[in-house]
Amino acid sequence: MFDSEATHARQRHNGITSMAPPVRDALSTVERFFQFALLGMLASGLLALAGSGHLDWATQIILLAALIARAAKVSGWLPPHLSKALDLSKPAIAAWTLAAVCFYPFDAWFLSGPPPSPAATLHLAAILTTLKLLTAKTGRDYLYLKMIAATELAAAAMLAVNLGFVVFLALFLLFAVAALASGEVRKSAGVPETLARTGQRAFGRRLGVTSFVLCGGILTMTAGLFFVLPRAARGALSRFMPDRPRLPGFADKVMLGDIGRLQQSSRTVMHIRSDQGQTLVGVRWRGAALSRFDGQTWDNPHLALVKLPVDRYGLVNLGTAPQRRPGREFEYQVQMDEIASDTLFFAGIPETIRINLPQIWRSAGGAFHVLAGAPNGLAYRAYSFVEYEDAPAILPPGKLEAWEREELLRLPANTDPRIALLARSMAGDASSDEAKARAVERRLRHDYGYTLDLPTVKVRDPIAYFLFVRKKGHCEYFASSMAVMLRTLGIPSRVVTGFQSGVFNPLTGWQVVRASDAHSWVEAWTPTGGWTVFDPTPAGEAASDGLFSRVALFYDAADQFWQDWVLRYDLQRQVVLASRMQQSGSQLRFDWIPDASLWWDQNAPAARRVAAILLSLALIAIVLIFYGPALARWWRSRRGVLRARRGEGEASDATLLYGRMLEMLEKRGFQKPPWLTPSEFARVLPASETAVLVDDLTTAYNEFRFGGRRDAAPRMLRLLDRLASMP
């Protein structure tokens, strides 16, 4: 007996020894999977926050570099000396943390603005996150990183209002499920003397699939929340952050370079659609008109705002526009994006405006504004008259007031005298003011180049630098230069900021106007035509019609659906949806629904029987859906046992009976590792009556399963009955 026990002990020892390498491999696999899942959480939270447009480039670069360094370290791509350099000691971590905290006041006062500065706070958080990311080793460190990732996503939920947030939220959930699941496996696998319960082949792939399935289930079950949380976030945001950042370049004060920086972004600013289906190609969307220039900044000296009355229907009647040139009238609707300015944009001269606000304001130069407290994602309709810019005037203009003419002819102090000489040279022999302006416009378009690259050096006189040194720039420099040159010629002029027509999206029927469509042009007063539009900026590079452009239109269509039916899904849109459903129902001939209620009243007993039958069928269907697979498995098991008792079992029934034995053993505390064969498992069990029964059952199983001996099936059943009756 002692020899038998010693033999079993050696066999158990050999079995455990053979399991050690797979367990160590599993720990390595689980660790890598966990590390990359955690990096995925941080990356998706960072991308969601960056997509909101409220994270500056410096912070993005710092965090992205830290993520890449951590990924290289985890994957083993980092050279040993660099990997060792990232393993900072506790005193070094404390020193870096103290340096970051000491840098915060300097950043807040001199780099990011006076405190409280959100940018400086983000910089401090980015530095501390980077330190934790590069040095994380313990479970507490990983918990901190998970909390940081969740904070990133929560901040993005408050700031982001586009469809991209949903994509990053799905990615975050996927990585979060993977990190939490692998973290539990990692914790369990790291406990000493713990037997691994599952196989280790393709562990990362199987756990990844499981995480993906769980993430899909979470998104499916909580899909309704996507239609609630963003709108709740907008409400909270309007309460706690009423002064959200707006687009630069469309206020009553614009610095040279604001429009150029704006043009480097492809963010959507607004969507526009003509009610008559008219094309909007070539239409300019006018914002603010600025008259005073100090050489660096355009603004309006008269900041008085005129309040425009809005009636109870939301209508502002501005009167019929004076039609000094031929043109066209059309009605259109505008949907402003969250990042747009407080300036309203119109085509030509608006005659009526319909807006869901109690008041709007008009400033000097004909610009329209909404004051603080206006809802994000503003929408309005307008009816405008748009002149044909190149058509000759058909009505003489009125007179320009003396004070206004003086203001529109004022030049910046210390204007370079070469500018006046250049203006006279460009105007040539033109006799009228309009002809002179057209000549200057043509020369600027022909002699100078267009570029979005901003000047790399700051100069005292940007206009002279543009005209005589650099000779290339973006629309602000062309418009400002022409306005200054016209003033030297005695022609009143001002600079207008707005947008070009944008791109038509055939998927939605809306015109998409992006930040890259921002534009500046000139309005000059001539005795024959009054205010006349001039655009001296040469044509830039044409937008490509490739795959990227088409994908961008698809994304814009999805994002507009998100904006319309999630963020802006108010009572008005509910009424529109109900109306459309009613029309669809009429087209599908659902007129029998009222007749159904009449039939119910006339045939109440029969109707109740039909309803009871339908309800019973529905309940049976629900039971089959939830319990059908379990019942099918029980029925197959029952049939297999009956066949085995009759000696008519099949080879697959041997596997079924062996599985029943494993279930009984598992209840007694014995679980078979997947990497052991049935014979090996029987040999490693402790010496006991149970081990003897398992050995006999394994022998019968091999005879039945692989030897084709059906008479072994009744013997397996008897042994199973004995095993089940044992205490």
232 and 257 together in one domain: no
Q: With pLDDT > 90 as the criterion, what percentage of the chain qualifies? A: 13
Most confident of 337-341, 348-352, 537-541, 643-647: 348-352
43 and 94 together in one domain: yes
Q: For residue 393, what pLDDT band results from cuts at 50, 70 and 90?
A: confident
Residue 175 zone, left/alpha/beta (φ > 0; ψ -120 to 50; rest): alpha
- Cβ neighbourhood burial of 278 (10 Å; 0-12, 13-18, 19+): middle
Is residue 624 assigned to a domain?
A: yes
Is residue 14 assigned to a domain?
A: no
Is residue 668 assigned to a domain?
A: yes
133 and 217 together in one domain: yes
What's residue 439's pLDDT?
94
Give dist(CA 257, CA 469) in Å, integer.
17
* Residues 95, 101, 104, 106, CA torsion sign: negative
**pLDDT tens sequence across 466-499:** 999 999 988 989 999 999 999 999 999 999 999 9
Domain count, the chain: 3
Is residue 179 assigned to a domain?
A: yes
Q: Which residue has the tokens 């501005």?
A: 318
> 144 versus 574: which is more confidently predicted?
144
Peptide bond into 538 cis (omega under 30): no
The 3 state secondary structure assigned to 491-536 is CCEEEEEEECCCEEECCCCEEEEEHHHEEEEEEEEECCCEEEEECC
What's residue 155's pLDDT?
76
**pLDDT tens sequence across 199-229:** 445 556 666 677 777 777 666 655 554 444 4
279 and 218 together in one domain: no
Residue 586 has pLDDT above 90, yes or no: no
Range of the domain at 413: 253-392+400-539
Residue 18 has pLDDT above 80, yes or no: no
> 254 versus 117: which is more confidently predicted?
254
Give dist(CA 48, CA 157) in Å, integer.
8
224 and 273 together in one domain: no
> 723 versus 84: which is more confidently predicted?
723
Last residue of a domain, one of 509, 539, 569: 539
**pLDDT tens sequence across 323-381:** 778 888 889 999 887 655 678 899 988 999 998 888 888 887 788 888 754 555 688 99
What's residue 241's pLDDT?
43
Counts of helices then strands in the chain (DSSP H, E): 23, 21
What's residue 566's pLDDT?
62
Which one-letter DSSP state was computed for residue 227? Answer: G
423 and 353 together in one domain: yes
> 196: helix, coil or strand?
coil
374 and 468 together in one domain: yes
* Nearest by Cα to 493 from 416, 404, 387: 404
Is residue 288 assigned to a domain?
A: yes
Answer whether 308's CB lies under 8 Å from 352's CB: no
Answer whether 60's CB lies under 8 Å from 226's CB: no
**pLDDT tens sequence across 549-574:** 777 777 777 777 766 666 565 555 55
Q: For residue 1, what pLDDT band results from cuts at 50, 70 and 90?
A: very low
Is residue 245 assigned to a domain?
A: no
Last residue of a domain, one of 515, 539, 563: 539
Residue 6 has pLDDT above 70, yes or no: no
Is residue 264 assigned to a domain?
A: yes
229 and 289 together in one domain: no
281 and 339 together in one domain: yes
Average pLDDT, the chain: 76
Give dist(CA 463, CA 440) in Å, integer.
15
189 and 264 together in one domain: no
Is residue 231 assigned to a domain?
A: yes
320 and 287 together in one domain: yes
Last residue of a domain, one of 520, 539, 558: 539
What's residue 379's pLDDT?
85
281 and 228 together in one domain: no
